[in-house]
Structure 1
Amino acid sequence: MTLDWEFTANRFCARRRGSGRMPGMTRPSTLPDCCPALTAHWPLPHGLADVVLVSSRFDPQKLIDGDFQRCLIEPPASIQRSVAKRQTEFLAGRLCAREAMRQLDGRSHVPLIGEDRAPVWPEDVTGSITHSTGWAAAIVARKADWRGLGLDVEQLMSNERAVRLAGEILTPAEMQRLNAGPEHQAATLVTLTFSLKESLFKALYPIVLKRFYFEDAELLEWSDDGNARLRLKIDLSAEWHNGKELDAQFSVQDGQLLSLVAIRG
């Protein structure tokens, strides 16, 4: 499971306009072989105005000493001590974030890790970083346009893993719908529910500054065209209260599921 937001899945389980741009590739001399190209594109079904999304493939086996320095990205101590996979996904995510910021407003900004383990964006910007096996992405927008953005990518679970984790991720109502549905959809539904709740947390936490967990939100509906709807089951603020519903979207490509929750400004 992903570590974007610097939150592990276990910690979350335990308690817790398109821009119109055509896909564009860039490879300045500062990009390392482990993350050779950045792509500005929109891999989700519904474009959002004034939002920039940049992604990259990455290969931990091609990470070499000095890549962070050549990219002008300072890794925190926890990343310096980590294995090559963790270092490379962090580097790729921050490279995507810096390029997304550059495309948004020309600033060169690499989000640090805050005390709450979340990326630190400029005060007038909202954003999100995500990564999974060999792929990282960042999404940014001005807060005047979008108050919150939560982006999450997950490898599609196997049926065995989905069954094992369903009880930690799904509410009783979600579990009932899972059991009543076709067996071949179980892995996709559990992965989707997990990812959407991760995206919801990443979009809402910077607004409410309160932690909430898998049991505190529910997937109401989803469709094959990439639409989904969530409902809160907890009072986080006067605005974000029990029963509040939010739209979301998702896509599935190459064995990975990408989800987004976007809250307008």
Structure 2
Amino acid sequence: MNRLPACCAPLQHHWPLPHPVPGAQLVSCAFDPAKLAADDFQRAGIEQSASLQRSVAKRRAEYLAGRVCARAALQQLDGRDYVPGSHEDRSPIWPTGIHGSITHGKGWAAAVVAADGRCKGLGLDQESLLDDERAERLAQEILTPAELERLDRSQFGLTVTLTFSLKESLFKTLYPLTKQRFYFEHAEVLEWSADGLARLRLLTDLSPAWQQGLEIDGQFCIKDGHLLSLISV
């Protein structure tokens, strides 16, 4: 029997972002590593690898919460009971014909899934909002020279956090499609607006279909000090 782990709050079946992706399902939950019980994986009907068993409670709880959300999203999508395993690079293994993404941060996890006919790829990322001091230390690593030049200093922490998150979502979207790794300097955020919409541009060639100069839309929302971003293609 698949039951909710003790470390997880009740699942939320919702769409917190500005614009729904047709056919996509998103499920989230809060979780608390301090409440991780010895039988939580067994209770949830989710296997854990040997390396995961050796991990700290935080890593085990966030993995468990993410997989619980992913299974619930797939059940909502088409009724299947499936828990994504992990590739060697730790990315989720989705069923054939399904695109999906899992994210987790401080006490919160989410998963989004859609069938192949509705989209080609999905990337979901959650981050805690950076304060200006930390954003200042990280900006040079995350932002391109052009992004730094456009940077609005009055929203410094938000802009750096959003740029980081959107690029993470872009990677999660395109890596499964291209099998090519790319980094912060290989994409730029062209613009974003207070209504939660954003636009990015690739700065490198990943495949014949995903080449330098291609522009891609994204979206995001902010709640309780956390930022959630999504890219769908």
Q: Under TM normalisation by the shorter chain, which class is it? A: over 0.9
Match of 1:58 in 2: 31
Change (3 A) 1:228 1:39: same
- The correspondence for 1:151, drawn from 104, 124, 127, is 124
The answer to whether the 8 Å contact 2:2/2:45 transfers is no
- Aligned residues, how many? 233
Match of 2:199 in 1: 229
Deviations 1:41-86 (A, max 9, x none): 0000111110000000101111110110111101122221111111
Match of 1:111 in 2: 84
Structure 1: which 5+ residue stretches go unaligned?
A: 1-27
Measured after TM superposition, the shift of residue 143 of structure 1 is 1.0
Aligned residue type for 2:51: S
Match of 2:163 in 1: 193
- The correspondence for 2:56, drawn from 68, 71, 83, is 83
The answer to whether the 8 Å contact 2:7/2:32 transfers is yes
- Within the alignment, does 1:129 sit opposite 2:102 as a pair? yes
Deviations 1:222-251 (A, max 9, x none): 000000000000011111100000000000
The answer to whether the 8 Å contact 2:101/2:172 transfers is yes
1:242, 1:184 → 2: CA distance?
Answer: 30
Measured after TM superposition, the shift of residue 117 of structure 1 is 1.7
Greater displacement, 198-207 / 73-82 = 73-82
Measured after TM superposition, the shift of residue 36 of structure 1 is 3.0
Q: How high is the sequence identity, in percent, across the aligned residues?
A: 60
Aligned residue type for 1:212: F
TM-score by length of 2: 0.98
Match of 2:209 in 1: 239
Match of 2:135 in 1: 162
Measured after TM superposition, the shift of residue 195 of structure 1 is 0.1
1:36, 1:189 → 2: CA distance?
Answer: 30
Three-state SS of the structure 1 residue aligned to 2:112 is strand
| Stretches of 4+ aligned residues off by more than 6 angstroms | none
Match of 1:175 in 2: 148
1:187, 1:233 → 2: CA distance?
Answer: 24
1:260, 1:103 → 2: CA distance?
Answer: 19
Greater displacement, 185-194 / 67-76 = 67-76
CA RMSD of aligned residues (A): 1.1
Deviations 1:203-225 (A, max 9, x none): 01111111001000000000000
TM-score by length of 1: 0.86
Three-state SS of the structure 2 residue aligned to 1:229 is strand
Deviations 1:168-193 (A, max 9, x none): 10000011112xx2x33000000000
Alignment of 1:205-220 (within 5 A): 205-220=175-190
